[in-house]
Amino acid sequence: MGQDQAGATAGDGMKIMRTFPIIAFACAALLAVPQLSMAESAELPLRFSASPGNMQSVRQGARDFMNYCAGCHTLKYLRYNRLGRDAGLSDDVLTENLIFPVGLKPTSHVLNGMTEQEGTTFFGKAPPDLSLEAEFRGAKWIYNYLHSFYLDPSRPVGVNNPLIPNVAMPNVLGHLQGWQQRVEGGHEGVEFKRVSDGTMTPAQFDSFVANITNFLAYAATPEHHTRVTIAPFVLFYLLILAGLCYLVKHEFWKDVHKS
């Protein structure tokens, strides 16, 4: 009877030791691979994989967001000083280069330069807050959206976008990308024809949009950088804890084996 119990206990211990690496590997996979939103799974013509941990890209994207987007859009869940801490920017740099409107402090949230009433008057609806846009629609969707504005004289702002038909947003990046027309029946039913060049080459514009998208992906989950940094230490701690738990269990059951 004692031998059977000892054998069963030893077997249980071996099962634990075999099972834990599988659990640890699964945890590592969950930490390493970002979750995809429903929008990320949609078929979009341009490929893009966000890099919210690339702080150089995030810094450049933050600068471009403030120059081209912050006049209308807010990031109410992100504070300037959090961006500064993660991206290595001092309060002076934030104040001189990123904080808008003038007068806000580094502890302020990222706000815009217009009221909701003004936004409704100008565009028919208030521009949305973009704090969670990358989580809601997906970074790939944002990247494609910013590439997909085309000329449409029937619209009040003169442009349209197949990802949001009858969009109220003007194409604030049109002079950078160049202006394009929609051609029906192209790849996946949508194709564009360039009718005038912008101030950027296609490669430069791709990089420009990628930086803004990475910044918005960071803004949606600013803790991502911290999670990736501490993940190896957490897994190492779990491995050590599992080993100690196994040794304690072995010590507790040692006397049972003798009985």
| C-alpha closest to that of 110 among 123, 118, 101 | 101
Q: Mind giving me the DSSP string for 207-259?
A: HHHHHHHHHHHHHH-TTHHHHHHHHHHHHHHHHHHHHHHHHHHHHHHHHHHH-
In the DSSP assignment, the letter for residue 39 is G
Query: Helix or strand or coil: residue 53?
Result: coil
| C-alpha closest to that of 78 among 61, 125, 68, 34 | 61
Across 9-18, 140-149, 231-240, which has the greatest mean pLDDT? 140-149
- 195 plus 249 within the same structural domain: no
- 201 plus 80 within the same structural domain: yes
Question: Per-residue pLDDT for 43 more than 50?
Answer: yes
pLDDT score of 189: 64
- 177 plus 195 within the same structural domain: yes
Average pLDDT, stretch 58-85? 96
pLDDT score of 257: 65
- 182 plus 254 within the same structural domain: no
- 162 plus 199 within the same structural domain: yes
* Domain that residue 68 falls in: 39-222
The answer to whether 129 and 76 are in contact (CB under 8 A) is yes
**116-146 tens-digit pLDDT:** 899 999 888 899 999 999 999 999 999 999 9
Q: What angle do CA 81, 54, 228 make, to 5 degrees?
A: 85
- 19 plus 101 within the same structural domain: no
pLDDT score of 33: 44
- 151 plus 177 within the same structural domain: yes
Mean pLDDT for all residues in the chain: 85
Q: Give yes or no for a cis peptide into 101 (omega within 30° of 0).
A: yes
Query: Helix or strand or coil: residue 74?
Result: coil
- 89 plus 215 within the same structural domain: yes
What is the rounded CA–CA span in Å between residue 139 and residue 217? Answer: 6
Average pLDDT, stretch 67-94? 95
- 26 plus 113 within the same structural domain: no
- 237 plus 197 within the same structural domain: no
What is the rounded CA–CA span in Å between residue 74 and residue 70? Answer: 6
CATH code assigned at 98 = 1.10.760.10
pLDDT score of 103: 86
- 153 plus 254 within the same structural domain: no
Q: Percentage helix, strand, coil, to 5, in the chain?
A: 55, 10, 35
**156-214 tens-digit pLDDT:** 999 999 999 999 999 999 999 999 999 976 555 679 999 999 999 999 999 999 999 99
pTM of the model: 0.75
Tally of structural domains, the chain? 2
A 10 A CB-CB count for 157 gives: 16
- 199 plus 252 within the same structural domain: no
